[in-house]
Structure 1
Amino acid sequence: MFYQWAEDDFDLPQGVIPLGHDAPGDHRSYIMYHGTTRAAAQSILKHGFRQSLGDNLMLGPGVYLSRDLDKASRYPIDHLEGDKVVIRVSVNVGKVIAINHQRHPRQKNWHDSRFGEVFDTAWVPPNCGMVKSGLEEDCVWDPNRIQILKTIAPKPVPAAGGRGYM
């Protein structure tokens, strides 16, 4: 079975800025997306977002999102498409830092005052070499900056061609 990801509405909440390839502006709100499984989405809807934790995370702890629906719809990678869900959110990004290359000096400590200025969101620009897909990624430190708007599930697409024809 083939699936297609599409939003069924394109109305942006007042004051929210649509996707662009420019850096997110400080203290602005954006529509972003988080790809996950159906079960995890239910937990997020019930309890809210929590920081991802672990040493192997590209930007360290935080909530990983993207302003690009295509990017979010790929997650979790190697999971059945029919069990994936994307959560559409509005995010006040606060103070933003661009992490635009591997081994950036603030790559994993952008939120920590011991290393200088504190940032609320780390933004990985598209096509900077940090992400294989070449699509942007964002990491928000404080889950309270995120407002859940709705979930988006992939829609089954009928196979091309008709039955009974040879």
Structure 2
Amino acid sequence: MYKRPLVLQSLNITKLTERWANVALENKSGHIFKLEVMHQYTGHEVQSSGWHILKPNQKLTVLKVNFNTGVFTTGTDNWKVHGLKKKDKDSDDFTESWRSGTGAAGTDWKKHTLRSEDDGEVTEIKVFESEIQFVSKSGTSTTSFYRHDE
């Protein structure tokens, strides 16, 4: 029977740990948006929140994401946010298409890696006028948010 070396046993570092976090989306833009969050941990399926209408300063838990931690894990957490801005407050039309990041044709993903201290916690995604913040217990990342249908 194989036994891990005592050093590895005491540090418990050979174990991959599957973890999860809730994702709350907050509209800090001052406009009504229909928003979707996508998350992909390397090698896993894309997890999508579906579309949610959020008024200014409204916050909603939209998704539970899965990720791994451990010394021998090599994956990262990648994120996208898509938005449709409401034409005006008396309209039902969402006509302006917005997205996070800076890649060509919407193919880029923003890296915001979740860590062991994020397990079971809430990661907040705050949508501002021209920026998105990914805020978790382990840190904060930012990326641009802009209209891309012009």
Which interval holds the TM-score relative to the shorter structure?
A: under 0.3
TM-score (norm 2): 0.22
Larger Rg, first or second structure (1 or 2): 2
Q: Counting strand residues as a fraction of each chain, which structure ranks higher?
A: 2
Larger relative contact order (CA 8 Å, sep ≥ 6) = 1
Higher share in helix: 1
